[in-house]
Amino acid sequence: MKFIILLIFLSLSCSPAGRDEKANIQQGKLNLETYSFADSPFLTLTGEWNFFWNKIPETILATDIPTSITLPSHWNHRKEKEEELNGQGFATFRVHILLPKDQTAFPLAVLTGEQDTSHAIYINGKYLGGSGKPGRSKETTVSQVQSSIVIIPFTGAKEIDLDLVVSNFAHRKGGPWNDVVLAPFQKAQERLTNRKMNETILASVLGFVALFFLFFYFFDKDETHTLGIFAFSFIILLRNISTGERILLDWIHLPYQVILRIEYFSWFWSAPVLYHYFQTVFPIDFSKKIGSVFYLISLILTLILLFPSEYFTETASFYPAIFILNGCFLLFFLIKSYLKKRSDSQTLLFGAALLLIGAINDTLHAEAIWHTTYIGPLTVVCFVFLQVFTFGKSFRKSLDHTKELAHKLSSLNTSYSRFVPKEFLNFLGKTDIRDIALGQQVQKKMTILFADIRSFTEFSEQLTPKENFDFLNSYLQRVGPIIRHNGGFIDKFIGDAIMALFPDDANHAIRAAVQMQSEIRLYNIHRANYNYRPVQVGIGIHTGTLILGILGEHERMEGTVISDAVNLASRIEGVTKMFGANIVISADTFIEASDDLGYDYRLLDRVNIKGKADSVFVVEVLDGYDQEKKELLSKRKDDYTIALEAYRREDYEEAEEGFSSILDEVPHDSVSKIFLEKSKSFLNLLNQEQRS
């Protein structure tokens, strides 16, 4: 509906302002005494004009007897003194006009359209204006085909002789084939201005469309049909500015021979370029051979433009048939595409039909076969708007498809990030998993966290495979987000164990461990509601330098971490089982930790780590327990430190006493219980040695 409204608007804007009345000139005379230009401002001077062959007003004698000619028309094939005229020559066309009785209301003017190929207006033998310079020979004639306006001087005379002089030595046809209109000067001026304005608007639209699709082609060269729209719009732009009012001459002065060649060049190439455009849209339905034939014809005709204009304009006698034949092939193949239900074929078929109608009309009008007006530019603009509409639909589909692909790609990248953490890629200096290659690695200081479910083997034996997976996924869904929220990322899952890396701060890892233990306690409350066994998790943390990189072979790669620090973190997690502790950290992590965390710690012992020559100190994070146990342990922390010191200096009696005192108040302190048992064992050994 919007397009139809636009079409109507363009039709109205491109049509002449005001309806023309046609005069009935008989035997070179026209009586306008009773005619009212106020009611009907435009009067086309059609009818029988007096015809003076090879005469100009200055050489016409009173004794010269004119013949009659009906205008508008060419003089070709007209017989004059038993001689058949061709297009070359000059003549004067005269009409005697009885003017309206009231001539004082507004000045009258003569608006003359382009004539082949130069013209001049005389009133009562006086030259007033025209286009070009009519002459008696090719050398004295200056060809120019543009409209002209001349004002009829007000002298009080009741009648005038209006002479139209036309000279042609540059075209195959000569004569006044366009209208000569009598109108009030202001109305005539408005009509000419409107014509030029409309043609300028059409040229601007065509130029914009041509540039738009040219830029789009350079943006995406796979869309070859955009180049076709550019070429067609550009060719029609050339034709638009070189025909009609020839607005090109308002911008730059060009000789008639140049402007005529531009007109014919654009005419010769408009049809094959249009065929090529449709061929790129529907390559299966359109014949390449037929397109090549029309290209060859246009190329030959273009070479003919190198000849003088009186010769190459002869192509207009047969090229219209070729042009219309091209249009028939276009319609045939478009109907074929339409019957095959090709996308947008209906819209393009309608547009091509409009173009063909406009082309046939303009061709017949230019050849003076019938007298209408140029509608080609209007049909071209309609066609271009249809192409823009079609292109918009296609572009929207393409954009929707691109969005869908982008969404899929984003989903795919999100899915990949679940297997290969984005942080891992970032440390390798990559943003896309496709850029990953074997051997890429980076060295960095990080904090490593290992978390392992205690007695999982025994635990899992009581579950089915599905229940095992459901349980692990339920557990990981709770602790995984805590790691991410604290600036870490999960490097890998090792069965029921988690290995996570914290690249920025050891405090992040400790805080994550405490929150994980808090979440596990809540999880156990939930499990208790279903009579499920509680889950116990030990967490070990160590800070050190490690290497992130890509291992494997070309068909199977994996991101991994290699470092003694990773092994040590794993062993420290094993220490939690030995001491029955929830969170154990290395001395290196303890040194990195900040007091701002507000957590309580206690030294466990110097322990031997498998694979390490030297023993290492390990520290327990008391905040890994529930609030009640944590407060009791924190309360007896000093007593624990004294007892541990006694144990380390082998004063086992004091140590036994100290740990026993702690256990009296905190009976579920597994660490104190272990040191108490060790103290008792050493005391028994000492007693046995003393007795022996």
Give the per-residue pLDDT at 1.
Answer: 39
Please check whether residues 445 and 583 belong to one and the same domain.
Answer: yes
Question: What's the domain count of the chain?
Answer: 4
Burial of 596 (0-12, 13-18, 19+ CB in 10 A): exposed
Flag whether 405 is in a domain: no
DSSP-derived secondary structure letter, 23: P
Q: Which of 398, 415, 440 finishes a domain?
A: 398
Whole-prediction pTM value? 0.61
What pLDDT is recorded for position 23? 93
Do 332 and 207 belong together in one domain? yes
Range of the domain at 378: 194-398
Instruction: Confirm whether 344 is domain-assigned.
Output: yes
Mean pLDDT of successive 10-residue stretches along the chain, which has 692 residues: 44 52 93 91 95 94 92 90 90 95 81 92 95 93 93 88 95 91 94 91 88 86 81 89 90 92 92 88 90 94 92 87 87 90 84 81 67 72 76 72 74 60 66 63 88 85 85 90 91 87 91 93 90 90 86 72 86 90 92 85 83 81 90 89 89 89 89 90 82 70
pLDDT the model gives residue 10: 47
Determine the pLDDT at residue 67: 94
Specify if 8 maps to a domain: no
Backbone angle region of 632, left / alpha / beta, with phi > 0 → left and psi within -120 to 50 → alpha: alpha
646, two tokens: 């006694």
Instruction: Select from 385, 273, 276, 284 the least CA-distant residue to 341.
Output: 284
Say if 411 falls within a structural domain.
Answer: no
In a domain, 576, yes or no: yes
- Reduced to 3 states (helix: H, G, I; strand: E, B; else coil), residue 295 is helix
- What is the reported pLDDT for 454? 87
Measured from the Cβ of residue 545, the count of other Cβ atoms closer than 10 Å reads 11
Please report, for the domain that includes residue 598, its CATH number: 3.30.70.1230
Note whether residue 164 is domain-resident: yes
| Cβ contact 121:110 at 8 Å | yes
Q: What is the pLDDT of residue 4?
A: 42
**C-beta separation of 110 from 194 below 8 A:** no
Residue 522 falls inside a structural domain: yes
State whether residue 660 is helix, strand or coil. helix
563 neighbors 547 (Cβ within 8 angstroms): yes
pLDDT of 15 reads 47
Which long-range CB contacts under 8 A does 17-21 form with residues at least 24 apart?
Answer: 17/187, 17/190, 17/191, 17/194, 18/42, 18/187, 18/191, 20/44, 20/179, 20/181
Q: Is residue 403 part of a domain?
A: no
Return the pLDDT at 367.
60
Q: What is the DSSP letter of 433?
A: G
pLDDT for residue 9 = 44
**Statement to judge: residues 323 and 435 lie in one domain:** no
Do residue 385 and residue 512 come from a single domain? no
Q: Torsion angle, CA of 238/240/245/246, rounded to 10 degrees?
A: 0
Is residue 212 located within the same domain as residue 166?
no
Tokens linked to 193: 């201005």
Q: Are 690 and 605 members of one domain?
A: no
User: Is residue 214 located within the same domain as residue 174?
Assistant: no
What angle is formed at CA 559 by the lines to CA 555 and CA 562, rounded to 5 degrees?
125
Structure tokens given for 27: 């035997």
DSSP assignment string, 346-371: HHHHHHHHHHHHHHHHHHHHHTTSS-
76: how many CB neighbours lie within 10 A of its CB?
Answer: 18
The set of residues, in sequence order, having a beta carbon less than 8 Å from that of 452 and lying 6+ positions away, is 496, 497, 498, 537, 538, 573
How far apart (Å, rounded) are the C-alpha atoms in residues 589 and 584?
A: 10
- Of the candidates 189, 108, 103, the one whose C-alpha atom is nearest the C-alpha of residue 152 is 108
Which H/E stretch holds residue 218? helix 185-219
**Which domain-ending residue is among 596, 626, 656?**
626
- Concatenate the DSSP letters of all residues of 592-651 into one string: H--GGG---EEEEEEE--TT-SS-EEEEEEGGGS-HHHHHHHHHTHHHHHHHHHHHHTT-
Calculate Rg over the CA atoms of the chain. 49
Residues 432 and 372 in one domain: no
**Burial state string for 155-188 with b = 16 or more CB within 10 A and e = fewer than 16:** eeeeebbbbbbbbbbbbbbbbbbbbbbbbbbebb
Q: Are residues 527 and 564 in the same domain?
A: yes
Regarding whether 392 and 487 lie in a shared domain, the answer is no
Q: For residue 658, which of 629, 581, 673 has the smallest C-alpha distance?
A: 673
CA distance 17 to 284: 46
Q: Determine the residue type at 562.
A: I
Q: Which of 626, 652, 679 is the last residue of a domain?
A: 626
Phi, psi dihedral angles at 503 (to 5 degrees): -80, -20
Contact of 506 with 447, CB cutoff 8 Å: yes
435 lies in the same domain as 543: yes
CB 523 within 8 A of CB 535: yes
Q: Which residues pair with 109 in a beta bridge?
A: 151, 183
Q: Are 442 and 428 in contact (CB under 8 A)?
A: yes
> Is there a single domain that holds both residue 134 and residue 26?
yes
